[in-house]
Structure 1
């Protein structure tokens, strides 16, 4: 895989800590050094106004800001984002996003003060209509072979560099219709990993409707909604979906697969998008 598609973990992504290991019920005689994933408050500001604060891995934050802006419907297209600046603070990181005046005016009508725990995608949403917001139906595309989906999921696991070091992060990957993984992003939060992936995809000449997204987690409705908002028609998860995720997938023309492990999978919606 090309290095640009799989960023190597940096010192900012993880930290060293002392740990006493227990093996076979016996506590080790001396502490050892372990690597743990960093978890940092990341505040997103739009045109100088605080909008959301998430706990995230402090890597690929430009991708995160762009992907979050797209999947949350804050902007309609990457060109609506005029600039992104990452500003470290003593107690976290502020990501300053400059968006078009039209998008900024629309954002003011649905202010969202969101303080998210790790992996939380809804904390602070003010109204029910913001939870199940309308997103465009994903366009039809040629079916993707099931063996390609299974092959891609196996390949993603081998591309989780930060997880290999820390054991604490989720991954979201993009693979083409042949099952070749092209892009991977990791984070302590599964929603954050997906937003980072969408943001990275928006910067690259990749036809999103011609492949699939894979996630190393369960498939909640927000994950399906984010994929639909990004125009992605196949979401494959290593674990289970929720009932609401299945309904959202059915309504947005997204093929949703769960329990994608080894040679197994369960197809919950739009099986016509998966070629046996």
Structure 2
């Protein structure tokens, strides 16, 4: 039996897609730190890595190699974080899955952001940016307040996979093939993909209007042979109907950037800057 933790972060109204993208970014950054894949918060770590590049000539061969790993991690993370804006702008995203482990199919740790329907209201750019920042701070506060870092034991450095479940997915003939379009946005189709959680206790965070978040189950429930597809997808009853148009399907996409945690094995007691 696996234990599934259900959390929620509610707002007075539905979030705009731009705000949803910023929430996904903030959640990923926070997870990388609290799951001990980086030694200090992401933005601080990124700044130190970029500054350290200016002093490469003074480093030993070992420290240069570690700095290259840090730089590669930041480049991959920046790519993934930026791709969230493209993803939410072009697709109706219902879930973001962040999987820690050797493969994304049956991960050791699994975190799922489950989104309400997005708002399509035309909002001024400056106001939209503020709403996104407020939503990002709210999601981090919710993670801290819920003790999300204590639900599982801290992880050793491992691969981090990003998946998105989108509905009404389809490419018009003018846009090219599915593969071309998703690669352009940094995400690839994952046909016949299913999320399982037989080796971990998944954490599912509902994000959206208060009404949507009120539909979240109890804080923790037990399930057998957990298969999160039913939770993540929210496919309408007719989604598998033979009458469904092939250009309007629901599908998992996977980010091309696969991250690898950087915490060194001998990191205990070391200074946070020793990696850079």
The TM-score, its normalising length taken from structure 1, stands at: 0.27
Report the TM-score, using the length of structure 2 for normalisation: 0.27
More helix by percentage? 2
Compare the two structures and name the one with the higher strand fraction: 1
Relative contact order, higher structure (CA 8 A, sep 6+): 2
